[in-house]
Amino acid sequence: MLGIKIIRNCYLALALALVLPANPASAQQLPPNIVMIVVDDMRFDEWSGGGHSYLKTPAIDQLAQQGTRFDRAYHATPLCSPNRASILTGQYPSRHGIVDNASRNQASFMLDLFPKYLQAAGYKTAHIGKWHMGNSPAPRPGYDYWLAIEGQGTTYNPTLFENNTRIEAEGYITDIFTDKATAFIKAQADKKQAEQPFFLYIGHKAIHPEAVQQDDGSTDLSVPKEFIPAGRHSGTYADAVFDRRPSYSPNAGADPDKPVIANAFKLRAEILAEDPRWKSAMDLGVSEDSIRNRAEMMLAVDESLARIVSELKKHGIYDNTAIILTSDNGYFFGEHGFSLERRMPYEESVKAPLIISYPQLQKPVKAVDALVLSIDLSATALDLAGIDSPSTIQGQSLVPLMTGTANDIRPAALIEYYSNETPFPWTAQLDYRVVISAGHKYIKWLRFDEAELYDLVKDPFEQNNLIEVPAYQKLVAQMHQQLQDLQLEALGL
């Protein structure tokens, strides 16, 4: 008998008692298996159920129908490395220290990753896919099985690092990760270790463009920033046209009420004029081909989810498996003049897709409108496993929102962004903090005497900056104070 911790958190036990099947075996229900899927660069609306114009993702749609979708989920920071660290530690970047995409290899080995708490409780833990908190593919603490790529890896025929063994793989990277994931699930089931649940983290490279990122965070401009779908999906949406959002800027210009962005775009224009390689890399306006290729890449991600669900069902463990699907940051399709930059404080970048399905919850809340953050996923996974969160985790469990025993977990959400990174010189001074309340978003640019305020109910596309409107000055002061309080809390002060 392994040292598995049966559900012991009193609050969780009470919540589950309200929604789990009423039968004698439920009292002996073992902790669930947990599968966490992180899609790279996936926008909140980049699935058919999320509102995409033409992309069809039946497996993701089915996951949302069976589980809970979080319609106001946000990234603690809209950037790959720091947000991945936030997902796996439950901490803000200001706490865990991975603040940009520079290769912080040593720091990433010292992160307080939540899988180690699952492992200590008897879970079999696995990491499969992109790590990208440091370019080193070496195994990190807390995992029994490890398969990773170095840095960004390559879309076709990637070099993999399985535990400490280098492997030259053949094929499409999404399919390869899925093969490894289903093999891990099968191995766990074949061992008939009914008393040992597992945690499986899958970090897709999709739908990130092909790229080489140096250790200092800079990008290699000689590598075309191409979105590469699997061959079987290429051309699926050849004639499709994306329904652009009202904030789309066809000439890649800044909105008139965003002076900080306007200043950055002036520098961007100068840099693109000096080095023509930037022009093709940036894909200003974001072409229909780019959006189509991303959608075709998502088809493999959706198939991956379908295969994982099928494998779980084949071994009779689907009903006791929680699946969490999200992304590390969003992406711009030309909104507000942005494209490849991602990392900016607007909804297309900071808002996250988030779906959690756990079949043991027979009547979960289908759509949650409460403010949630990527730092909440660590606490949620541990809560589902019946493990108390350590004091280092700053996020909160989402289980009460899923069961309907709570309507919200925070009055406002904080987003941090540190711009000390080198890929895009025009963003080098754009550090910001954001606070999002029930209906408004307040953006403070830290290196400029500038701020922005948006009414997300009346102006969901953030086209009308209210920061100078007299009637909103009391709200501006309140949200600025709220931001200061939340930042101090994030720092642990």
Is 485 among the domain residues?
Answer: no
Type of residue at 141: P
Is 457 among the domain residues?
Answer: no
If residue 59 lies in a helix (H) or strand (E), which one and from where to where?
helix 58-66
Distances (CA, A) of 289 to 215, 238, 272: 30, 8, 21
Q: Which two tokens stand for residue 256?
A: 């008139």
Q: Which two tokens stand for residue 308?
A: 């994982």
Where residue 27 falls among pLDDT bands split at 50, 70, 90?
very low
**Contact by Cβ (8 Å): 119, 127:** no
Is 142 among the domain residues?
Answer: yes
212 pLDDT more than 80: no
DSSP state of 375: T
Among 100-109, 142-151, 476-485, which is the least confidently predicted range?
A: 100-109
Q: Which residues contact 278 (CB under 8 A, 6 or more apart)?
A: 221, 271, 272
50 pLDDT more than 50: yes
Is 64 among the domain residues?
Answer: yes
Identify which of 261, 329, 323, 326 has the alpha carbon closest to the alpha carbon of residue 76: 329
Q: Give the integer Cα–Cα distance in Å for 350 and 76.
A: 8
Mean per-residue pLDDT, 236-252: 96
Instruction: Say if residue 207 is preceded by a cis peptide, omega within 30 of 0.
Output: yes
26 pLDDT more than 60: no
Quote the mean pLDDT of the chain: 91
Q: Which two tokens stand for residue 315?
A: 């071994």
Mean per-residue pLDDT, 112-118: 97
Is 443 among the domain residues?
Answer: no
Q: Which two tokens stand for residue 278?
A: 């930037």
94 pLDDT more than 80: yes
Helix axes 288-314, 173-190, angle to 10 degrees: 10
**Contact by Cβ (8 Å): 183, 189:** no
First-to-last CA distance in the chain? 43
Identify which of 214, 194, 201 has the alpha carbon closest to the alpha carbon of residue 150: 214
pLDDT of residue 6: 38
Is 170 among the domain residues?
Answer: yes
> 10 Å Cβ neighbour count for 224?
12
Q: Which two tokens stand for residue 127?
A: 């990491």
Q: Give the integer Cα–Cα distance in Å for 419 and 430.
A: 6
pLDDT of residue 10: 43
pLDDT of residue 164: 87
Is 423 among the domain residues?
Answer: no
Q: Which residues contact 227 (CB under 8 A, 6 or more apart)?
A: 207, 209, 210, 290, 293, 294, 297
Is 4 among the domain residues?
Answer: no
State the Cα torsion 118-119-123-125 to the nearest 10°: 100
Domain containing 216 equals 15-21+30-410
Q: Give the integer Cα–Cα distance in Å for 380 and 386.
A: 10
Among 17-21, 132-136, 220-224, which is the least confidently predicted range?
A: 17-21
Domain count, the chain: 1
Report the DSSP beta bridge partners of residue 159.
168
Question: What is the CATH number for 81?
Answer: 3.40.720.10
